[in-house]
Structure 1
Amino acid sequence: MVGAGLSGAVIGRELADRGHEVTVVDSRAHTGGNCHTERDAETGVMVHVYGPHIFHTDDEEVWNYVNAYETFLPYKNRVKTTSNGQVYSLPVNLHTINQFFGKTMRPDEARAFIVEQQADTSIEDPQTFEEQALRFVGKDLYEAFFKGYTIKQWGCHPSELPASILKRLPVRFNYDDNYFFHKFQGMPENGYTAMIDRILDHPAITVKLGTSFASDMAREYDHVFYSGPLDGYFNYSIGRLGYRTLDFERFSYAGDYQGCAVMNYADEDVPYTRITEHKHFAPWESHDKSVCYREFSRFAEADDIPYYPIRQVREKALLGKYVELAEQTRGVTFVGRLGTYRYLDMDVTIREALDAARGFLACRADNRPVPAFFQKPL
């Protein structure tokens, strides 16, 4: 298993439970990948070192799986945003609409108001992020809550981004400010790293941290599951896939800095996209001091941690070439966010890892070749 994050840990444990000897290598000095959490020595706050991770899913098997290794306590993600000097609730909901327009509309009145006075109904088939937002919320809400934040997050104008990024109608006509719709939502009581360490705690699993993978290592094993960057496996031989990365400006505060876990900053002239206050991700704990991150988004350079695959026209063309190379490579299966160059939530990562392990076992049982991808990147 190349990578001691969710993909490597889950696949490794599934195979170890079925009699395989498993080695997990990771170039970092800790397990957990970007989900890594650790206690801050000064404040006692559980810090999401690579940015906040909030677990939410409708997949009951995945929910039961993570709870078998760690107690998940109730947590609802309630995001706020600062726009033009005022604080609003996200996603855009009835409270946001009434506050923004200075009204006291009921749901049916607000829906009619948006459709008749705000939404650009001349856009019948939105092709870009901007068109999608203008079609469903109108110019005022788009410019207040979506435009500036999106430019900072993606480094380009929303008219250059596909409509699919704005996946669903970005407005609610009720007072529900729960950011996610999923049935199961929570946070691990002792952090994600504690959960992943328990998944890896098996006599047939050997974990080697601070160990970079080299392709010639594959010869020592029957099969390799690779959760690193797909292009990195081939030494970027035909170019680098594009990613956005994040920079965090960490600071402490003697008290409660912002009163919520996530505060977005929608104005384009504010250089950071949001501030996260980590003690609020564990509301069952009490801390006098606080740890916060200012979050900045930019294009990932060669030595940066890749976060968000860009997947525009250029990247998809290059991805297709790497997929061809991967499918010609025997003895390696590419998994996870980096291995398949797709943005994946944690629950989907675990689901795909479970499916990959089961697929591998089925291939071995039937004496069939193990594919390079159980989930196609394109």
Structure 2
Amino acid sequence: MKYCLVGAGFSGAVIGRELAEAGHEVTVVDERSHIAGNCHTERDAETGVMVHTYGPHIFHTDDQEVWEYVNRFTAFKPYVNRVKATSRGQVFSLPINLHTINQFFGKTMRPDEARNFIEAQADMSIENPLTFEEQALRFVGPELYEAFFKGYTQKQWGCHPSELPASILKRLPVRFNYNDNYFFHRYQGMPEHGYTRLVEGILDHPNIVVQLNTRFERNQAADFDHVFFSGPLDGFFDYKLGRLGYRTLDFERFTYQGDYQGCAVMNYGEESVPYTRITEHKHFSPWEEHEGSICYREYSRFCEVDDIPYYPIRLVKEKALLSDYVAKAQQVKNVTFVGRLGTYRYLDMDVTIREALDTARDFLNCNENQQPVPAFFVEI
């Protein structure tokens, strides 16, 4: 069979690889000049630093099969994400932990003392937090909320935290020990030679042809037995019902001779600072040494027509439009929508790979049992 994968990021590469290994002919197309999508990495010619072109990506997962899968195609090095935050003229450790709490309040509390102290700060009258702001006030109280969450969130999402669902904040833990590892996951690391090398390895199969600088047109679907589309769901239909809302990012790139900030990620939670964070890319490869440095100041704003979509907004208006597009997609034959853009969901890399593996296997099973192939293999 002949299959087309639209998009050369993780979704297209992993599904394509699974289908190729099953003996099928696979064409992967991408309108960009490179593979790996927003995970694309490349060496800066002047400094030698491995740059995360579209912003940093840190691999973390509890999924052993996914971890073993990515390690098939490239070597991973240990990496622990330790985020810092500048607020009120000081540098603090994130996520909020015992060091953060003691430093912020000028105390030397033990874990149980800190837990009781934070509970006393919290607004216990909020029994069922519905918004981001209520969630923060309920669990950390007004001072920590103002210092670390309120301004950052307004800059990141372009609206007041009272307009955002509480679920956004549920991903941010508060720890009553000195563990400053941003993630809890069992497997954490960085590909030694960058994410693009990883995706190259996945796509390196005799049954796979990659076509870059190539825009997929909807009528081309007739040339293939099936198409997996990882581009924007609304874009597949030429945005006829309207555009789904996204936040995009602008990067102000600058070089520095030496070490600019001493860490990979520095958040800026205050509204008076226009950017959300500064990332220093050589710290994402701590096993390397570079005199020069590449940094990004990161600004978030609403995604316009020619911008790269990053974060789906998924508020009430967007969800209503999404349901209309899902209904249209379910009427299309021989096309399955996959990945972050194709399903209009925020997905970490490990989840993207897991869903791609499952999608390819379910698809092959549908074909083997002569069952209809759905437009979506996941719940939207």
TM-score bracket for the superposition, by shorter chain length: over 0.9
Q: 2-side partners of 1:341 and 1:230: how far apart?
A: 7
What is the percentage of aligned positions where both structures have the same residue?
A: 76
Q: Which runs of structure 2 are paired with 1:213-224 in the superposition (5 Å)?
A: 213-224=216-227
1:260 paired to 2:246: no
Q: Which residue of 2 aligns with 1:373?
A: 376
List structure 1 segments (4+ residues) > 4 angstroms apart after TM superposition. none
Q: Which residue of 2 aligns with 1:283?
A: 286
What's the CA shift string for 1:139-170, capped at 9, x where partnerless?
A: 00000000000000000000000000011463
Shift of 1:171: 1.3
Structure 1: give runs of 5+ residues left out of the alignment. none
Q: Which runs of structure 2 are paired with 1:109-258 in the superposition (5 Å)?
A: 109-116=113-120, 118-168=121-171, 170-258=173-261
SS in 1 for 2:356: helix
Q: 1-side partners of 2:232 and 2:341: how far apart?
A: 4
**AA at the equivalent of 2:152:** Y
State the superposition RMSD in angstroms: 0.6
**AA at the equivalent of 1:68:** R
Please, which of 85, 88, 91 is the counterpart of residue 87 of structure 1? Answer: 91
Please, which of 332, 337, 343 is the counterpart of residue 334 of structure 1? Answer: 337
Say if 1:129 and 1:162, in contact at 8 Å, map to a contact too. yes
1:65 paired to 2:73: no
Say if 1:136 and 1:169, in contact at 8 Å, map to a contact too. no
SS in 2 for 1:167: helix
Q: Which residue of 2 aligns with 1:29?
A: 33
Structure 2: give runs of 5+ residues left out of the alignment. none
Aligned residue pairs total: 376
What's the CA shift string for 1:184-205, capped at 9, x where partnerless?
A: 0000000000010111011110
Q: 1-side partners of 2:202 and 2:118: how far apart?
A: 48
Q: 1-side partners of 2:171 and 2:224: how far apart?
A: 44
Q: Which residue of 2 aligns with 1:99?
A: 103
Shift of 1:283: 0.3
Q: 1-side partners of 2:48 and 2:242: how far apart?
A: 43
Q: 1-side partners of 2:351 and 2:18: how far apart?
A: 16
Q: 2-side partners of 1:170 and 1:39: how far apart?
A: 34
Q: Which residue of 1 aligns with 2:324?
A: 321
Q: 1-side partners of 2:267 and 2:230: how far apart?
A: 30
Q: 1-side partners of 2:201 and 2:76: how far apart?
A: 14
Say if 2:40 and 2:54, in contact at 8 Å, map to a contact too. yes
Shift of 1:219: 0.7
Shift of 1:358: 0.2
Q: 1-side partners of 2:83 and 2:284: how far apart?
A: 12
Say if 1:136 and 1:170, in contact at 8 Å, map to a contact too. no
What TM-score comes out, normalization by structure 2 length? 0.98
